[in-house]
Amino acid sequence: MTRHAPGRLRRAAACLVLVAGSAAAAAPGHGGVVTLAPHLAELVFAAGAGAELSGVSAYSDYPPAVRKLPVIGDAFVVDHEQLALLDPDLVLAWQSGTPARVVDELRELGYRVEVIRTRGIDDVPAALRRIGDLTGNAHDAERAAARFQAAMDALARRWAGATPVRVFYQVTARPLYTINGDHYASDLIGLCGGVNIFAELGGLAPLVTEEAVLARDPEVLLAPGPERERTFSHWRRWPALAANRYGNRFTVPADAIGRATPRLADAGAAVCAALQQGRRNRAAAAAAQR
């Protein structure tokens, strides 16, 4: 990875100003890669470049090795002192999450910033390959991308032609957020034969009302998290809702579906299993009414 000398001088000057008089000012930069979102750190490891990761954002926790790395801020604020001390060769930003002003500011300071897109399922192998190219780990990244794509293709083949089922994906209950059709979780729903009832809305995670959900009468309620009854407790007020009539309230592992990484293969298997059970429950309810 190539450094830009003028930018490095500016960063060095900023570092001296920020930490003048402290012992840390004498510490050399680590170089390597810094990530500005938790899933980007996971993608770096998956691409075979984990040894080059020198700093991460808040809430980075997978794989466990990232928990030992310096934290350089969160999704909105960068700790410039910590970043200057690390002096990374490459900073990876999240296209849908890192504010443009943060990217621009870092570039003005001389950092090499690459923006990674991770909106849909197809973006995961593309992101792995790009990170592999950027870090000199193209071979390992290609293997990881191929494994992920093969897992997705296998799910698509298994559930091709499955009877459609209407799905409401609940990101949070209060306020009530869902996903639109551009979100990778919506891709998983579609791959499993489900229909995202709010696919046409703008924004990856739009705010909706309970009335809007009731009007579209989903047959399955789906959400990340382990506690199904607590997650969907507020929907009990509407027993006539199709998902309630069928008993179709399912959760999927939050760690797997929460980030656009190769772990989406596990999330996809869980979503497909939930929707298939939803079809069985729907069929059983229909049979009971005959």
What is the rounded distance in angstroms from the CA atom of residue 38 to the CA atom of residue 131? Answer: 15
What is the rounded distance in angstroms from the CA atom of residue 195 to the CA atom of residue 205? Answer: 16
CATH homologous superfamily of 161-288 = Nitrogenase molybdenum iron protein domain (3.40.50.1980)
Structure tokens at 281: 């429950």
Query: pLDDT of 1-49, one tens digit each?
Result: 444 445 554 454 444 444 433 333 323 346 899 999 999 999 999 999 9
End-to-end Cα separation, the chain, in angstroms: 68
Rounded to the nearest integer, the mean pLDDT of the chain is 89
Query: pLDDT of 196-223, one tens digit each?
Result: 999 999 988 999 999 999 999 999 999 9
Location of structure tokens 């891709």 = 187
pLDDT band at 74 (very low <50, low <70, confident <90, very high): confident
Q: Tell me, what's the pLDDT at 209?
A: 96
Report phi then psi at 240, rounded to 5: -80, -10
In angstroms, how far is CA 190 from the centroid of its own chain? 17
Q: Tell me, what's the pLDDT at 16?
A: 44
Question: Hey, which of 10-14, 67-71, 94-98 has the most confident mean pLDDT?
Answer: 67-71
- CATH numeric code, 5-142: 3.40.50.1980
Q: Tell me, what's the pLDDT at 18?
A: 41
DSSP letter at 21?
Answer: T
Answer whether 125's CB lies under 8 Å from 149's CB: yes
Q: What percent of the chain has pLDDT over 90?
A: 79
Nearest to residue 81, comparing CAs of 69, 71, 94? 71
Answer whether 118's CB lies under 8 Å from 39's CB: yes
Query: pLDDT of 236-261, one tens digit each?
Result: 999 999 999 999 999 999 989 999 99
Answer whether 169's CB lies under 8 Å from 186's CB: yes
Q: What percent of the chain has pLDDT over 70?
A: 89
pLDDT band at 75 (very low <50, low <70, confident <90, very high): confident
Structure tokens at 183: 């979100």
156 compared with 29, residue with greater pLDDT:
156
Where are the chain's structural domains? Answer: 5-142, 161-288
DSSP letter at 73?
Answer: B
pTM, entire model: 0.84
Same fold, 5-142 and 161-288: yes
Q: Roughly what angle, to the nearest 10 degrees, separates helices 184-191 and 264-288?
A: 50
pLDDT band at 97 (very low <50, low <70, confident <90, very high): confident
